[in-house]
Structures are given as C-alpha cells and as structure tokens.
Structure 1
C-alpha cells in the first residue's frame, strides 16, 4: 500500500512517500481503509523522538476516519463497509497510508451527515478539549475559564465547548487570529504579543482569578497560569504539566490535571478505553448537527503532509488540517 514513511527519528521534512505492507486484522482488531487523517502537533513531536515500540519505517497519523475493510476475530459491532473514526495508539502504525489497523474497542461509528475529513479533524484535539471541560474542570454556567492558544485545535474546541456550558471564556491569540477566536465564541480575547494577560484576568475577575485554565502552550506557561486560578479551581495542562507549583500551600487550593489520550491506550482500563468512544461519539454528533465547528481550514494530499506538519510546528496554524485520500 502507499504510505508516508519515517525511516528514523527526525523532523517532518524527513518523511517520504513509499510502499508498505498492508495490515491485517488480528483478534480484537479492525482494518480501516483510510479516507482522511487529521494532522496534530503530536505527529511532529513523536517523529523527532521516536518510540521504543516502533519498527522502522514507521507510519504516523493518529486521527483516522474511513471505512472498515476487515474485521478480526472476537470483534462484534462492526462489519466491512461501516464508516468509522478513531484516535489511534501511538505505538502502532497510523493513518498516513491507504490502510490502518487498530483495536476495535476504541473505534466509534460515524453519524450520518458527517464527512470523513471533518470526522478526522476531531479525535485528538476535540477529545482533549472535551475531556478537559467535561471530565476534569466540570464547568458550570457562569464559571470563567482562560484558554491559551485559542486559534489552535485544542484551544478552538475548548472555546466552543466552554461556551456551550455557558461559561465566560477568555483566550489568547496572535493579532491575525483575534477575530477568528471571537467568532468561535470567546468573550474576551487577549493579544499575547502586547496584552498583560495576568493583570487583565485579575481585573476582569475582581482579583479572584478564573475558575479554570486550559493551557496548551507548555510547562512554563502552565506554571505561570496556575497563579490565575481562583480558589477551588483547576488547571488542565495539555502540553506539559507545571514542574513547580508557585501557589503557596493552603491558599487557593487549585487542582492540576494532565491530559494524555495516548496514555489511555497504554495504561487505561476498559472503562477508560470505552470513554474514548463515548467522547468521540458526542463530538461527532455535535459537528453533524451543526452545534460544533470542526474548524477544518485545510485539506492536503499525502505528498503535502510533511510541509503541512512543518507549518504546524511553527505554532501559527489555525484550526485543523486534514489529509484526504485520493
């Protein structure tokens, strides 16, 4: 089969088009004919480091949407021809290929009216935001939340999901994306180049801080933003938890959460694996019924995935980019 291959750890530019052996379904697995695969920052990050479980060459691509091609032993609920989507296991070959194999218990049926490319835009970023809002922060109407990097995939979904819970949403963005994140539903948008975000957040919350923070930037940003969490609130770290805690003991009592969908595949129990399906199903239904924007901004061919990943690595990409099969 045609695939985008990584021969050794390296940047996106080292990916090459080539041929790979088509997979077959083992017990508990299904093979999917890939129709679309979403691009994510985790792709270029793991490409640089590699993974001990990989064999070479490796195929990247976690967010797959396609058609069931083959069903393995002990799999129920799927038959060839079903339209499905899933968040893949980092240890396996992924979706930048004609076919991909995955564990059947983490696969979700696609709802009617949802295109493959929009389904593929959802798993990694959408479920990360969904888990942060609904499983960790438990936002309520009237709560305040700060979402850093609102124009990115996780940030954009987080803005929309927080607004759907009637929270008041603050976010950060570059000058080019201020209006874009406003259209997604942010109430207050800060230009991270020029605005004093900590001071502004405290002024807008009468000095108390926000009920929740979703930090998509990194450990240093997460540490700084922990000081903006109001009493009893929480911070969700998407790109690395804070290495130190600047908050004095027995003051605001913030909770710190780490999101790692990939860890579900490696360490999760059956309930956690089932929740991947539950979350993705909920998100896909909302996109299908028009109450959530998939933020699909660009589709690319397999040959153009390396360049698109390189652009994603600049951290200036907006929304979601998806590889669509010919």
Structure 2
C-alpha cells in the first residue's frame, strides 16, 4: 500500500443512528484492503437515495455511519492487488450503499468501480455525475437500447436522472418527448423535441400527438410506480419502459397485447447482487459520461455548491422535494 497522507484522523460527517442529524466529527482515516483504493475526497454529489438512506438507515451499517454514495477526488492510497491506479490519479465513483460513505476527507472504493476524470472536468462536475448519470445511462443504453429514429418519453425531465436521460436519448438520435411542470426551455436545450406539462388534463393526448398518434418505443419513468403505471399503455408493441422509482402495475394493460419489456433500474444491486463484471460496468458507464462532459456533449446541471456542514439541510430539502438540479458539497481541508 502506498500512501501520501500521514495524519490518523479525518473530518467526517456522520450520524449516530438512522434518522439522527448529521454532525461533523473526527474519525480514523480508513485503510484500503485488497482490491480497494482510498481517495482524498474533493467533492461529494448528493442524490435522493442518500436522503432516503439517511432517514431509514441500512441493516448492514455500523454506527457512527458516514453517508453519501458519490464522490470525486485524488487517489491517496492503494490496497494489494490494485494495478490500474496510482497515487495522484483524479477519479470519481458511485459507492456501495451498504458500506461507509464518502462524506469525509477520505473514502474507500473498490478499484474496479473508479472512473478517471478527464482533463478539463472539475471535481464538482465529476461528483455530480455518477448516480444520476449512470442511472440514466443504464436505462437508455443498457436496458432500452435506444436508437436513432425511435421515440422515447422521459418523465421528471427537470430532475437529475431525467435531465441526463434527455441528453443521452437525444444524442442516440431518438425523438425525445419530455414531461415536466416547469423549466421547459431548459429541457429543450438538453435535447427534447417537445416538453409537455404533465399536469395538463390532456397530457396523454399531447404525448401521442407529438409522436404522430403512434405508440412510443420507450419510456424512462423517473417519478413513481403510479407514474410508470399511468404511462405504460402509451407503449407500442414490444416497446420498453425503464423504471427508476418503482415498477408499474401490469394489470393496467391487457395481457398478451402490447407485450412490453419492463426494466427496473437499481445501481446498488450491482454491489449486492451483481458480479465483478457488473461492478466494472459502473466504471465503464461513468468513464463514458465524464468523457461526454469533457468534450461538451453532456451538461451537468449544478444547482448549488455547499460545504460538509450544509449536507444535512440539503438532504432534508431533497426528502421534501424542494431541490432541482444537482447539489454538490466541496470538502475543505
């Protein structure tokens, strides 16, 4: 193991039990085990899943627990059996929700899930990309395999996942129809051909009219199980729906009719139920995303930059649905 930091404790944000406030504490700097890499954290990306986990906890956590899944920083120490990384490499990653998180000056990740941050991409941009970006990537490319000439509906288009999905589907050549209650011009700039207010009484009719009255090839639903159920019938024969926030009730459509494919998107399952190849694909997806940021094809919507001491309030806002765009926390030394 090679290390470039000689202190023994680090400033961390932790909670004593599920639902308890997050407080700044000094904890021991973790040491990487075989296959692991320690990074000196520069920026932390916040996501709704972090807010939910801080509120509910996880049975595999020990206390005090350091939360937050997404981080960007510099490789600081390397465990045995790691050959692809060196101290000083700029990297980003999405972590295992069962493990100690990244809301600290140092964090541990498996070497196989890290992605290199290209020149020209900031730590803030890199930290904002993993969870939302890879969720959208997995939906659009890995599950739905969206292609040029297809039509796709994306709900929650002003959210983190929805915004990335609009861009990725548009870049794949699809006709993108988005649902959002506000920010329509912003969503159009991301690549949507039409943006429709989901609150409109005739929203379904507007979506189908935007696709020349035909069913859709694909749907990315980033809102809820009820939303996925409501939109399921818009699919054409053999169309697919990727569900970010809950599966649809298949009783809403007739059996042996449109024959849809239904996909559940769960990045965390790559750790809990996946194999090494699934975890390595986290690195592949994030590397592609960061490359698109570097060459200007992908916009990372940063709504707010805060410090570690602002994370607790930011996560509360997420649970109350008071945030738009990505919130990133910068780690001070």
**If the length of structure 1 is used for normalisation, what is the TM-score?**
0.95
Is 1:72 the counterpart of 2:79? The answer is yes
Counting only pairs closer than 5 Å after superposition, residues 137-216 of structure 1 correspond to structure 2 as: 137-175=144-182, 177-216=183-222
**Structure 2 counterpart of 1:323:** 329
Paired residue secondary structure (2:178): strand
Find out whether 1:10 has 2:16 as its counterpart: no
**Residue 58 of structure 1: CA displacement?**
1.0
**Per-residue deviation, 1:80:** 1.3
SS at match of 2:252: coil
Q: Any runs of at least 4 consecutive aligned residues in structure 1 with deviations exceeding 4 A, and if so which? A: none
Which of 300, 303, 308 is matched with 2:314 structurally? Answer: 308
Q: Is 2:216–2:239's contact at 8 Å kept on the other side of the alignment?
A: yes
Instruction: Output aligned runs, 1:1-326, within 5 Å.
Output: 1-10=10-19, 14-175=21-182, 177-326=183-332
Give the whole-Å Cα distance in 2 for the aligned partners of 1:165 and 1:16: 43
Q: 1:317: Cα distance to partner?
A: 2.2
Distance in 2 of aligned mates of 1:222 and 1:243: 8
Q: After the TM superposition, which of the residue ranges 178-187 and 296-305 deviates more from structure 2?
A: 178-187
Query: Structure 1: how far apart are the matches of 2:282 and 2:229?
Result: 28
Q: Please give the secondary structure, in 1, of the residue aligned with 2:28.
A: coil
> Which SS does the other structure have where 1:245 is aligned?
helix
Unaligned ranges ≥5, structure 2: 1-9
Counterpart secondary structure, 2:289: helix
Q: Residue 194 of structure 2 contacts residue 210 of structure 2 at CA under 8 Å; is this kept in 1?
A: no
> 2: distance between equivalents of 1:77 and 1:91?
25
- Give the Cα separation in 2 of the matches to 1:205 and 1:301: 44
Residues 144 and 218 in structure 2, CA contact (< 8 A), matched pair in contact too:
yes
Displacement of 1:40: 0.2
